[in-house]
Structure 1
Amino acid sequence: MTESPSAPVGFIGLGNMGAPMARRLLDWSGGLVVCDVRTEATLPFTEAGASRAADPAALAARARLISVTVIDDAQVIDVVTGPAGILNTAGPGTVIAVHSTISDRTAENLAAVCADRGVEFVDAPVSGGAAAATRGGLAVMVGGSDAALELVRGPFGRFSDLIVHAGPVGAGTRMKLARNLLHFVAFTAATEAQCLAEAAGLSITDLGKVVRHSDAVTGGPGSIMLRDTTAPIPSGDFWLPILTHVRNLGEKDLSLALALGERLDLPLPLAELALTRLADGLGVGRPLLDKEPS
């Protein structure tokens, strides 16, 4: 298959994420075919010129590049292999791109089933939320072949401004899981910070304003994710003094926060864990840096 701007694109799943992504494809020169179990979800698209398919199989009979944005593994499996699934009608060379966050094993298993039918499967989860989808600013993490990546670049470029080829099928999902691990651990840390602020008689709303303001400047946790490895940093490496400085500041501030929590009789288990793991996580653990020369 040679994908071109004249080929129709299909989009299955028009929920909170799928709808703004699909809207960015309404003016795709090859046309847009949409499908959702809720007929009312397709109406804004058909009114704007898109075509509607009754089910994934009907959509696959008309589109050769198909984006899927449904809720979970079970729905993805049904959309691809179910009684009215894509593989019932998909011709050889069809590309199925799943944007849902699913298990990497599910992605690999579906890729094998699709390959038996001459269909290319890509796991392509996204990051950035509905607001980024609306303005075309999503990040897409692609797991699939080099050839498949080139086929999806055009449509994906409508709703994203960062496309990362993570590796073979499954790698896109693994990258999304690592990204969301950071997201929700950070959310849990935010709840602990709020508890500390509240116990100290502070406004947690004002704290939130400070966090959003400073993270917009510093980049937040992503600002330290610049190295090629998590191994200990060797002497003479460019990053050694930078991340040593981060470690020193972090350990000082975590210790002060823990002391405040102790005075307020407030346990801070994540802060305690961070204090023990920060140095090694940054690659500048004290056994490496601070041992006396022999």
Structure 2
Amino acid sequence: MSDPGGLRIGYIGLGNMGAPMAQRLLGRPGGLTVLDTRPEAVAPFVEAGATAATDTAELAAACDLICVTVLDDAQVRDVVAGTGGLLSTARPGTVIAVHSTISDTTATELAAQCAEAGVDLVDAPVSGGAPGARNGTLAVMVGATDEAFAKVAEPFGHFAEIVIHAGPVGSGTRMKLARNLLHFISFTAATEAQRLAEAAGIDITELGKVVRHTDAITGGAGAIMWRDNTSQLGAADSWFPIFSHVRDLGEKDLSLALDLGERLGVELPLATRALAGLGVGLGVGTGSTAQAHASEEHA
């Protein structure tokens, strides 16, 4: 198993994400064994040269690296440690990679259980959705030992553009949860923006076009995520003038949006929270616009 390129890979779960990820592993030197509860999901892989396993235990006995993409924590626990699960036949040195987004505590608990059998479990959730899986452009966030990460980095590179070693087991999931926190808060903010635009008589489908266009240019929220910590910045720090400028622009626009919302009778709780916390979150402190708004609120 010193040559990651020669690992025999097993893949469990050939759904919307698992199937395109597994497809990009076809043709690797070590070969591919697949398993899914639906025969119609397995058939195209067999036709393309993969081997079909009849159950989890059979797959584990034949493979060096096993990728798991199932629905939730309960299914992951069952596949890994349930009756007839992977641990029933996996050989010492085997790596089990869980791509499902699960609790970080599930990952660490299962990793400890696997370690007793000499098996490495790594949590390796992905970001980029089915299009990223099909195109091989996913981001994979891996919680693993250095040794286990060295084994999975090359195979993961077949379906991912970025493979990040986030830290020890559990870290991949924690990174994914932070990433998805931003994702779904931004969705909530988008619904708030739509309510404001609709109340103002704006065609929100046209607003959506503008958002998608400009986010593709500016990078969206990721454009400010360059620092290696979240401490407050000193005035001499090179980031201070940059983020102060971002804060001032943001506070101005948020204040104007809140004023429009007040006139239209539209509540904007996320915008209110953003105005109060933007500068502090950027590490440059609250700006004059937010301070003035806070004074008016308490007047």
| Normalised-by-shorter TM-score class | over 0.9
How far apart, CA to CA, are the structure 2 residues paired with 1:274 and 1:144? 35
Give the drift of 1:4.
3.2
Q: Which residue of 1 aligns with 2:120?
A: 120
> In the alignment, which residue of structure 1 is the partner of 2:29?
29
Measure how far apart 1:53 and its partner are.
0.8
- Please list, as runs of the form range in 1=range in 2, the aligned pairs for 1:240-279 lying within 5 A after superposition: 240-279=240-279
Cα–Cα, structure 1 residues 104 and 218, in superposed 2: closer, same or farther, change >3 Å? Answer: same
In structure 2, the partner of 1:284 is 284
| Matched residue, 1:177 | 177
SS of the residue aligned with 2:272? helix
Give the CA deviation at 1:83: 1.1
Counterpart amino acid of 1:62? A
Secondary structure at 2:198 match in 1: helix
Partner in structure 2 of residue 44 of structure 1? 44
Change (3 A) 1:21 1:98: same
Whether contact under 8 Å (2:8, 2:30) holds in the other structure is yes
Write the mapping of 1:169-208 to structure 2, written as runs, cut at 5 A.
Answer: 169-208=169-208
Instruction: Work out the CA distance in 2 between the residues paired with 1:163 and 1:7.
Output: 18
Letter paired with 2:85: G
Gap regions ≥5 residues in structure 1: none
Which SS does the other structure have where 1:67 is aligned? strand
The offset of 1:286, in angstroms, is 3.2
Read off the aligned partner of 1:148 and give its amino acid letter.
A
SS in 2 for 1:164: strand
In 1, Cα distance between the equivalents of 2:273 and 2:55?
49
Contact 2:34 2:50 in 1 (8 A): yes
Alignment of 1:46-61 (within 5 A): 46-61=46-61
Name the CA distance, whole Å, in 2 between partners of 1:100 and 1:4.
22
Tell me which residue corresponds to 2:167.
167
* C-alpha distance in structure 1 between counterparts of 2:3 and 2:123, whole Å: 18
| Partner AA of 2:84 in structure 1 | A
Give the deviation of 1:287 after TM superposition.
Answer: 8.4
CA contact (8 A) 2:247 2:282 kept: yes
| TM-score computed with the length of structure 2 as normaliser | 0.94
Could you tell me how far 1:206 is from its partner in structure 2? 0.8
8 Å contact kept, 2:95–2:119: yes
SS in 2 for 1:66: strand
1:98 equivalenced with 2:98 (yes/no): yes
Letter in 1 for 2:180: N
CA contact (8 A) 2:67 2:99 kept: yes
State the partner residue of 2:295: none
**What is aligned with 2:133?**
133
Structure 1 residue matching 2:54: 3-state secondary structure: coil
SS at match of 1:286: coil
The one-character-per-residue Cα deviations of 1:97-131 (angstroms, maximum 9, x if unpaired) are: 00000000000000000000000111000000010
Q: Distance in 2 between matches of 1:3 and 1:103?
A: 31
- Quote how far apart the aligned CAs of 1:2 are: 2.3
1:3 to partner: Cα distance: 4.2
2:144 matched to which residue of 1? Answer: 144
8 Å contact kept, 2:61–2:90: yes
Q: Distance in 1 between matches of 2:203 and 2:55?
A: 50
Number of aligned positions between the proteins: 290
Aligned to 1:87: 87
1:142 match: secondary structure? strand
Identity score, percent: 64
Cα distance in 2, alignment partners of residues 133 and 273 from structure 1: 35
Distance in 2, matches of 1:235 and 1:195, equals 38
Comparing 24-33 with 180-189, which one deviates more in the overlay? 24-33
What is the rounded CA distance, in whole Å, between the counterparts of 2:199 and 2:287 in structure 1? 36
SS in 2 for 1:154: helix
Q: TM-score, normalised by structure 1?
A: 0.96
Q: Could you report, residue by residue, the CA deviation over 1:136-157 in whole angstroms, capped at 9, with x for unpaired residues?
A: 1000001011111110011101
> What's the C-alpha RMSD, in Å, of the aligned pairs?
1.5
Distance 2:3 2:88 in 1: 21
Secondary structure of residue in 1 paired with 2:11:
strand
Distance change >3 Å, CA 72–CA 40, structure 1 → 2: same
Q: Which residue does the alignment assign to 1:110?
A: 110
SS in 2 for 1:5: helix
